Amino acid sequence: MSAEEYTEDSIRSLDWKDHIRLRPGMYIGKMGNGKSPDDGIYILIKEVIDNSIDEYVMGNGKTIEVSVKNNKVSVRDFGRGIPLGKVIDCVSKINTGAKYDSKVFKKTVGLNGVGTKAANALSSYFCIRSIRDGKSKFVEFDQGNIINDEPIQENTSRKGTRVTFVPDEELFGKYTFLNEYIEKMMWNYCYLNTGLTILYNGEKFYSEKGLYDLLDQNTEAEMLYPIIHLKGEDIEVAITHCKNQYSEQYYSFVNGQHTVQGGTHQSAFREAIVKTIREYFGKNYEASDVRQAVNAAISIKVIEPIFESQTKTKLGSTEMEPEGVSVRGFINDFLKTELDNYLHRNTDVAEIIQKKIQQAEYERKAMAGVKKLAKERAKKANLHNKKLRDCRIHYNDQKKEERTETTIFITEGDSASGSITKTRDIKTQAVFSLRGKPLNSFGLSKKVVYENEEFNLLQSALNIEQGIDELRYNKIVIATDADVDGMHIRLLLITFFLQFFPELVKEGHVYVLETPLFRVRNKKETFYCYSDKERKEAKEKVGKNPEITRFKGLGEISPNEFKHFIGKDIRLEPVILGKESKIQEILTFFMGKNTPERQKFIINNLRVEEEVER
């Protein structure tokens, strides 16, 4: 049959598991190797835990046990347990589940009957045990195929469900679970479900005050006033303003799901804060002045929420209930009443907020001339032709999901940017070329972002002047040489992001590109090595008289070779802030005045590297 022929033989039907494995992106977003928080292996964990959370929300089981060891994930809840005769159907038949019946499951996350089926089909091993009424049902699968179906047996264990799975390396490649990403997921579940206990690898996660705890534990900057914590039926919010902070930081949730891309509820929340404060003071303050340095969180519960993708990262619902109460109106009415009442009862807090707004207004007006000049310079620099080689995808209302695929490489010098530009995927990958070393921005005011040409152009390229809601690229990749100068530039860029746009790092957008240090080859084989250990192993594989090249900089790697390093096998190291990390402490240590402590740290780490080389 020729390629042009379209006959009955062209039409075929796929089994449920074959379709999921053939088109995994339809079910879990993107694949990835675990270096990004929205990679598929984390979505699989979330999909399984969501079912346990829904049980808790319905009043069944107060503890969930989660373990992730050697790429094997296990989730055990103490809910009602899946009806034993339907266990196989619930994990292997698409569009099967109890959540289509809103009388049984109200305001839950998992509504489309796909989550555990995707985990099953995309795993090399998957098993489920349901325990209820003194009996249990146990089934094992391999890539969605049943390999062991045990009959129903007597079981005196506590009721509930245990799911265990191993994501399939045939699909995900060599992947690694990062503990920091999973811990953040566990904390979010607890913040949104007060009273729930999650035991993750033996560590207890628990929250008493919900969103209050979220802000309290995640806000590093000094708060100007105590957290405003307001709760109502189907809504909870927490709000504060911070000192020496330029951006806004929001955490939004729907039915316990972290909507990292926001949505209708987050937009309505931002608008309602401004509207309520304007009405309270009787002044038409600029929205940006009201929201400058706001740290806030919102959680709402919606019957049958509509998300803009299977991964549920952005709410698309505009109505709260089937009869048509709008999300925007519901949130606005709640804040108009509760936040206004709070400000009237706490006039000292209202006074602090007003002073903060006035300060922001003064700074904005003082910066107006600088910003105008900066925009003119950016225009004259012809940003989108010289400094930035853009990709073809732009995040807008028509291409919401494509944003997750975009990457911008920040390079040093023309040679490195030239090699990446010639090799990149022009649809999804952009390149921004730095000129010289960036300024050390530690301790400087945001005025420097507009006065410094490189920072001004980079901010414009990323489109983050008004915050990261309109960030043009999902991944910001620092691509510098693996030498002292390259490391310094890397540190200066990370300092810039942490100083002025910390949410880029907190939300997992900033990465470092790993490129090979050595090329080892003979006439038949070529190995690219990222460490001295890999070089030695490659040397043994190649045999006698290998050609060994030590790459001193990105500019020495030809475009033909670069395609191996920024394609599907790209190695990215995420810039992660540990739960104990404090931004100001980190910046002071690494970028502040030279201290004996920092000198000692560098010397000790150099010694470690020397030992590795030996």
Output the pLDDT for position 108.
54
Q: Which of 26-30, 274-278, 290-294, 460-464 has the lowest mean pLDDT?
A: 26-30
Does residue 517 register a pLDDT over 90? no
Output the pLDDT for position 391.
85
225 token code pair: 């006033």
Per-residue pLDDT tens digits for 158-184:
999 999 999 999 999 889 999 999 999
Output the pLDDT for position 561.
79
pLDDT band at 592 (very low <50, low <70, confident <90, very high): low
Task: Collect all residues with Cβ–Cβ distance below 8 Å to 529 and sequence separation of at least 6.
Answer: 516, 517, 518, 519, 520, 535, 537, 538
Highest mean pLDDT (candidates 47-56, 135-144, 383-392): 135-144
Element (H, E) at 378: helix 347-380
CATH of 211-365, one of 1.20.1050.10, 3.30.230.10, 3.90.78.10, 3.40.50.1100: 3.30.230.10
Q: Distance (Å, rounded) from C-alpha 116 to C-alpha 94? A: 9
3-state helix, strand, coil in the chain (%, to 5): 40, 20, 40
Output the pLDDT for position 445.
80
pLDDT band at 588 (very low <50, low <70, confident <90, very high): low
CA diameter of the chain: 82
Q: Distance (Å, rounded) from C-alpha 527 to C-alpha 539? A: 9
Q: Distance (Å, rounded) from C-alpha 182 to C-alpha 137? A: 28
The answer to whether residues 132 and 159 touch, using CB atoms and an 8 Å cutoff, is: yes
Residue with tokens 């309505």: 268
| Fold agreement (16-205, 381-515+558-580) | no
pTM over 0.75: yes
- Residue extents of the structural domains in the chain: 16-205, 211-365, 381-515+558-580, 518-550, 582-614
Q: Which of 135-139, 145-149, 385-389, 522-526 has the lowest mean pLDDT?
A: 385-389
Output the pLDDT for position 102.
47
Output the pLDDT for position 607.
42
Does residue 119 register a pLDDT over 60? yes
Output the pLDDT for position 611.
39
pLDDT band at 104 (very low <50, low <70, confident <90, very high): very low
Does residue 99 register a pLDDT over 80? no
Question: Cα dist. 308→325, 394, 497 in Å?
Answer: 20, 17, 29
β-bridge mates for residue 240, sequence order: 295
Output the pLDDT for position 164.
96
- Nearest Cα neighbor of 365 from 313, 292, 422 is 292
> At 81, phi and psi to the nearest 5?
80, 145
The answer to whether residues 396 and 373 touch, using CB atoms and an 8 Å cutoff, is: no
Does residue 494 register a pLDDT over 80? yes
451 token code pair: 């006065």
**CB-based burial of residue 282 (10 Å sphere; 0-12 exposed, 13-18 middle, 19+ buried)?**
exposed
The answer to whether residues 470 and 395 touch, using CB atoms and an 8 Å cutoff, is: yes
Does residue 398 register a pLDDT over 70? no
How far is the first Cα of the chain from the last one, in angstroms, to the nearest whole number?
Answer: 60
Task: Collect all residues with Cβ–Cβ distance below 8 Å to 374 and sequence separation of at least 6.
Answer: 450, 451, 456
Output the pLDDT for position 294.
93
- CA count, 13 A, side-chain hemisphere, 564: 12
205 token code pair: 């996660």
Output the pLDDT for position 54.
85
DSSP for 320-335 reads SSTT--BHHHHHHHHH
Cα-only R_g, the chain: 26
> Per-residue b/e over 380-404, b at no fewer than 16 CB within 10 Å?
ebebeeebbbbbebebeeeeebbbb
- Nearest Cα neighbor of 234 from 350, 105, 320, 359 is 320
| Residue with more model confidence, 333 or 100 | 333
| Cα 582 versus chain centre, distance | 19
Highest mean pLDDT (candidates 192-201, 320-329, 449-458): 192-201
* Mean pLDDT score of the chain: 82
Total residue length of the chain: 614
Q: In the chain, what percentage of residues exceed pLDDT 70?
A: 81
The answer to whether residues 53 and 109 touch, using CB atoms and an 8 Å cutoff, is: yes
Output the pLDDT for position 244.
81
Q: Distance (Å, rounded) from C-alpha 418 to C-alpha 411? A: 9
Q: Distance (Å, rounded) from C-alpha 71 to C-alpha 165? A: 9
Going across the sheet that includes 228-232, the strands are 228-232, 235-241, 294-300, 249-254, 257-258
β-bridge mates for residue 251, sequence order: 297
- Nearest Cα neighbor of 349 from 235, 214, 229, 266 is 229
| Residue with more model confidence, 77 or 320 | 77
Per-residue pLDDT tens digits for 81-93:
999 998 898 888 7
pLDDT band at 397 (very low <50, low <70, confident <90, very high): very low
Q: Distance (Å, rounded) from C-alpha 558 to C-alpha 556? A: 6
Task: Collect all residues with Cβ–Cβ distance below 8 Å to 411 and sequence separation of at least 6.
Answer: 417, 420, 431, 432, 433, 434, 479, 480, 554
Collapse the DSSP code of 68 into the 3-class scheme (helix H, G, I; strand E, B; otherwise coil) and give the result. Answer: strand
Output the pLDDT for position 419.
81
Question: Cα dist. 147→48, 125, 135, 155, 165 in Å?
Answer: 20, 10, 21, 22, 14
Per-residue pLDDT tens digits for 313-323:
555 545 555 45
Highest mean pLDDT (candidates 138-147, 298-307, 506-515, 595-604): 138-147
Q: Does the domain at residues 381-515+558-580 carry the CATH identifier 3.30.360.10?
A: no
Q: Distance (Å, rounded) from C-alpha 269 to C-alpha 327? A: 10
φ/ψ region of 58 (left if φ > 0, alpha if ψ in -120 to 50, else beta) reads: alpha
Highest mean pLDDT (candidates 83-92, 196-205, 369-378, 508-517): 196-205
Output the pLDDT for position 595.
62
**CB-based burial of residue 352 (10 Å sphere; 0-12 exposed, 13-18 middle, 19+ buried)?**
middle
Q: Does the domain at residues 16-205 carry the CATH identifier 3.20.20.150?
A: no
Per-residue pLDDT tens digits for 198-207:
999 999 999 9
Per-residue pLDDT tens digits for 208-256:
999 999 999 988 888 999 999 999 988 999 999 998 888 888 898 887 7
pLDDT band at 324 (very low <50, low <70, confident <90, very high): low
Q: Distance (Å, rounded) from C-alpha 342 to C-alpha 347? A: 8
Q: Where are the alpha helices (DSSP H) in 144-178?
A: 169-172
Output the pLDDT for position 604.
60
Pairing of strands 72-77, 63-69: antiparallel
Collapse the DSSP code of 460 into the 3-class scheme (helix H, G, I; strand E, B; otherwise coil) and give the result. Answer: helix
- Mean pLDDT, residues 355-374: 82
Strands (E), 255-379: 257-258, 294-300
| Residue with more model confidence, 584 or 347 | 347
